[in-house]
Chain A
Amino acid sequence: MAKSTAPQVVRSYLTQLERALVGLPVEVRDEIMAGIREELDGLDAAAAADRIETLGDPEFVAAEARAEAGASAAEPPSEPRWFPVLAALLVAVGGIVIPFIGWIVGIAMVWMSKSWRLRDKWIATLTPFAAVAVIPLATLLIEWTTGGSGSAGQQEPNPLIPAAYDLAWSGVVFALLVNVIVGVWLLVRSRSRWRSADAPTRQLSGVQPTWYSVLTVALIIVGGYVVPVVGWLVGVAMLWASDRWSRRDKWLGTLAGPAVIVAAVAVVLIVRLGAGDTGNLLWWHLVLVGGGALPLIANLIVGIRLLRR
């Protein structure tokens, strides 16, 4: 029953620890938090309290970490604040201002910057390619499914399948759109660094404020209805940028919507093929309504779960 929520003792320990670790290099802080969180994840209150006893006082853990991190001394000099901001902006809109080259410069700056971890850099670089690859795949899927239901040997061009030229164009437009989202996401990610840099004067800011959690969940649930797809994507980006949720929760929040859509489409396709392609229009209406309503329901359920964490 209480299994969906981490025990109070865990949450308060993690909060205290996060506060105590302020001022340490972000990688170290993240790694300590992740390491301890993964160990306390899924334990009941008693077992967790036991582990926490072993771990020791958050201040002690932090002091030890600080001593050890200080021992490595040679922290690389920090880069100017504008550098990651410019990099993220170039990723977001550079490709629109100077086609392709603007984006390349942005990505190069992202790779040069110390504001992001390696994983973030890969995500920023590869996401547009992955997104664009979805289009021909979707087309193939349509071709395959409609081809499967048509009579054999028919060679008429299917109006549902766009020509190569259309594909290329929608790919470019889609990539530009995706890059805007990636750029915003990069900005969000790099902010966690500024926080730690400002640490001494902003002691409490390391802990995620409530409005951030609420906004994240709200965007995942209804963002896609306000600004189609993009609203939802921003919510998902904020979800992944956050420290509050575990990896499993993040995947859950990300995949719930797409999963029900895929499931709904699969069911409709199977039923439709089984029924011998009758009532074509009706079925697609069902897909439309289902595609609108089902993710709302799924995301609502997941959203409530996320907020209770």
Chain B
Amino acid sequence: MTADVGAQLRKGVVESCVLGLLSREPMYGWQLSETLIAHRMIASIGTLYPMLSRLRAQGLVSTYEQASDAGPVRKYYRLTDAGTEQLNNFREQWGPFTRTVHDLVGKDDTHG
């Protein structure tokens, strides 16, 4: 039950979290996936790529390829200008949104 609530909450924000991560530095798929899994935002790398495809189709992220020191050429994802704008929109709304939600559900009076 609680897991379902968590999943629904994550669904709405995980894309913005990807944008947030990418606003710090370009990252490759595995790196993003590890970070998001470590923070329990996604369950599998399988979740990540459809999302990245979608973000790319919307022009919010772009990709480039770069060889790593260890060998493999990696595809890096980075934020586009539109992505930065989208992220800023999210940031502006997120604070008031959580405050509102907190006001509405914040107190558990029945079990006070």
Contacts and interface: CB of A to CB of B under 8 A. Distances in A.
A62 B54 CA distance: 17
Interface string B49-69: 111111000000000000000
Contact of A55 (B45, B70, B73): B45
A159 interface: no
B26 to A, nearest CB: 14
B49 A28 contact: yes
Interface in A31-45: 31-32, 34-36, 38-39, 41-42
B75 A35 contact: yes
Given A31-B29, A68-B51, A61 B73 contact: no
Interface residues of B, number: 23
A62 B73 CA distance: 24
A67 B47 contact: yes
A276 interface: no
Nearest to B43: A64
Interface in B1-57: 11, 28-30, 33, 42-47, 49-54
A38 B28 contact: yes
Contacts of B72: 38-39, 41-42, 246
B95 interface: no
Q: Is the interface of B mostly helix, strand, loop or mixed?
A: helix
A60 B46 contact: yes
Contacts of A72: 50, 54
Contact of B30 (A25, A39, A248): A39
A42 B74 CA distance: 12
A304 B74 CA distance: 26
Contacts of B33: 35
Contacts of B45: 32, 35-36, 55, 61, 64
A62 B75 contact: no
Given A31-B29, A35-B49, A71-B11, A64 B74 contact: no
Given A68-B50, A69-B50, A34 B75 contact: yes
B106 interface: no
A131 interface: no
A28 B43 CA distance: 17
A41 B75 contact: no
B11 A65 contact: no
A63 B73 contact: no
Output the residue of A24, A66, A68, A247 with the most chain B CB within 10 A: A68
A31 B65 CA distance: 13
B15 to A, nearest CB: 10
A31 B53 contact: yes
Q: Which 8 A-B pairs have the closest CB atoms?
A: A64-B46, A35-B29, A65-B46, A61-B46, A69-B50, A41-B72, A64-B44, A68-B50
Interface of A: 24-25, 27-28, 31-32, 34-36, 38-39, 41-42, 55-56, 60-69, 71-72, 246-248
Given A28-B53, A65-B44, 4 more contacts: A42-B71, A64-B42, A64-B44, A68-B46
6 contacts: A32-B45, A34-B75, A38-B29, A55-B45, A65-B46, A67-B47
